[in-house]
Chain A
C-alpha cells in the first residue's frame, strides 16, 4: 500500500489560514470517515489533532479543523501561530482494515 499524498511543505504568515491536503483513493479516504491528523514537533511524539475527519480531541484548539471531499481529506489551521510550525501527518483506515499514513507536510509560519 502506498502512502497517502500530502504536499511536502505549506507556509503562511501569522494570523493567516492554511490548508493541508491528503489525497488517497476510493480504497481508503474515499470510503471511510476514519481520517485522523497528527502534529509532530521535532524529536517529539505525534499529537492527535483531528479524528473521524472533523472531530477535535479535548484540549485541541478550535483553530484546527478537518474536512473531506471524495478521496481527499484536508486539515485547515486558522489564525496561524508560531507554535503551529511543525510536521503534520494524515492517516486513513483502508479497505484491508489497515491504516495508511500520509507522506507528511512541514508547516512553516
Chain B
C-alpha cells in the first residue's frame, strides 16, 4: 500500500525559499505515471502547483512557474518542491500525491502546513 509523507519547515520567512520533500513508501517512485503537489490556503480551495514525472520532466502552474522547481530522487524514493521568494500569500497546507491519469491523484499525503511569516 503506497504511503506519502510531506516533510519540511513549518515556518518560512518572507522572501526566503520554501522547501518540501515527499517521501514515498510501499511503492517505487519510478513506477508511477507522475507525482504532484497541490496546496490549499487556510479556509480556501485547492490549487494545483505542479507535476514531476519519474524521468524528471515537469509541468508547472503558470502563476508559480517563475518561482518553482520540482525534482525526483529515485535513489531515495522521494520527490521535492522548492518555491522561492515566498510571501504571506504562499501560506497553505501543501499536499503531495500520486498521479494515475491526467488530473487523477489517487493517493495523498496527510498534508503539511507551511506558514510564511517573519
Contact B62 A36 (CB under 8 A): no
Task: Tally the A-B contacts, defined by beta carbons under 8 Å.
Answer: 66
Residue of B nearest to A91 (CB): B103
Shortest CB distance B63–A (Å) = 8
CB distance from B42 to the nearest CB of A (A): 11
B110 CB contacts on chain A under 8 angstroms: 45
In the complex formed, the residue of A with least CB distance to B102 is A34
Counting CB contacts under 8 A, is B27 at the interface?
no
The answer to whether B104 touches A52, judged by C-beta atoms less than 8 angstroms apart, is yes
Q: In the bound complex, do residue B100 and residue A51 qualify as a contact, i.e. CB atoms below 8 Å apart?
A: yes
Asked if A101 is an interface residue, CB under 8 A from chain B, the answer is: yes
Which residues of chain B are within 8 angstroms of A47 by Cβ–Cβ distance?
108
Contact with B along A80-103 (1 / 0, CB 8 A): 000000000101110011111111
**From A96, which residue of chain B is reached at the shortest CB distance?**
B62
* Nearest Cβ on chain A to B101's Cβ, whole angstroms: 5
Interface-facing stretch out of B8-16, B43-51, B69-77, B81-89: B43-51
Interface residues of B in 61-118 (CB under 8 A from A): 61-63, 95, 100-106, 108-111
B32 at the interface (CB under 8 A from A): no
Per the bound structure, the CA–CA distance linking A104 and B51 in Å amounts to: 21
